[in-house]
Amino acid sequence: MPTITVEELSSRLAEATALDVRSAAEFAIDHIPGSINIPMEQIESRMADLPVRPLVLVCEGGKRAQIVAGWLQGHREATVLDGGIRFWRRAGFPTVAGAPCRWSLERQVRFTAGLIVLTGTVLTLFADPKWVFLAMFVGAGLTFAGATNICGMAVLLAKMPWNSHSRPGATLASAKGSNCCT
């Protein structure tokens, strides 16, 4: 897949569209000015929504953008931003910050599921073997979520106070001053 450096993209933003394939939550935290967001999992069903202009695919580090570029092969020509928005920030280019620093819902689910499985396993080893059912319950839930795309843990976490929808207005933030945790 062809790639482009952050410096090249910065000079070509007027003629190309930066298509951010991260989740909507990641995009809300910060993104390249003028970029649009179509999450990776929606690309195939939203091909008609892709802009006509040349596409530069963006994600956090470049892996998801490479995968999407493979999906687009034969349908649309696309270039991948080398190093993703991580390199963009590191180079000191500005980002649009639209939400306080928070973890994406997907990251929260992975962390919570991992913590519950770890806790259940440790309790099984040191307290009572019946705690293994806690780890099995989470494993079954993750399997169900993968098979059906319905995640009960994500639904619960989305209702937590730290995931409330009240956000300050979007601001332009310098990447050098950013302290984002994602």
The C-alpha atoms of residue 43 and residue 15 are separated, in whole angstroms, by 21
Q: What is the pTM of this model?
A: 0.65
Rounded to the nearest 10°, the torsion over CA 131, 133, 138, 141 is: -160
Q: What are the pLDDT digits (tens) for 118-166? A: 999 999 999 999 999 999 999 999 999 999 988 999 889 888 888 775 5
